Structure 1
Amino acid sequence: MTKCTRKRTFRHIILACLAVVAGSLTGPLAEAQETQPVSPNLTPKLQDLLRTEMRAVEDASREILSALIAGNDARVAELAQNIHDSFILKQEMTPQDKQALMAAVPDDFVAQDRAFHNLAAGLAKAARDGDSDLQLAEFGRMIEACTACHARYATDRFPMLAE
């Protein structure tokens, strides 16, 4: 990678991060949908599963940002694929747990979660293809999806997003 290409890539990363921050500040305000925290409706087991998954996604997202900055496509692909594969409905849930989850959350919550994990798959593919511009775009979309979901369904945990 030439020095000029690295500078351009670094600028894209900075711009993508700024866009994500700006989107996280304006996205919840622009969304006219009513917030409905889902955590109080979940069983303790489901709350634990969801928290575990969210921590793993957050940790992986931090590592993805570092890997993007370093131009480490292989690491981005690995981490993004791990996020995709952590889809909550694929975790160790009994049929009763799945039924309780589906009864506790709106259909849109499940749709947003699926869409988020699909974005992670798109990021993994972009990284495997070595497409740095698409990686930045997909990562930005992932972070925007996190913020939008938290603003709608986790205001009990992230009250500043409800403001």
Structure 2
Amino acid sequence: MAELDHDLCPEEVHEIVNALRKARSRAYCPYSHAAVGCAIYTRAITSPQGNELCGDEITIGWNIENSSYGASMCAERVALYKCLGKVSRAAASPQNWTAMAVVGSATSPSDSCFVKPCGLCRQVLSEFLQRRPRFPIILFDPEFNRYTVTTVPELMPNP
């Protein structure tokens, strides 16, 4: 994955990290024990007339497991669907989202990898972000010491 400019200031990254910590702490993962948190950040949006349509907003999601694995839901889709269901149409529109961030939990002391969206999440993301090929997806390591930035096209398999 290439390091891309995510266009976020340090304060925004700090807020996103705080949101990711909160999201990951809410994960329901009694089977895999792999907690994942996701945050979708939307900067304040104003109309052409200068009216604020929505303020800065972070929508979080976390993985929710079920003994029937097909009924489980990944953090990325929880956050995305919550965004799409927002009352504010400006905040609900993927065209207005600024960035997505994902973090997993370390399942072993040596685990310091970046958690990437699964194939199903990648497909859903590609549908809603098809007009945003450079939309930044920031992947944090479990301790928030490192991150890398990717995009949906980079996550998709080659045909």
Using structure 1 for the length normalisation, give the TM-score. 0.29
Using structure 2 for the length normalisation, give the TM-score. 0.30
Pick the structure with more helix per residue: 1
Which structure has more relative contact order (CA 8 Å, sep 6+)? It is: 1
Greater Rg, structure 1 or structure 2?
Answer: 1
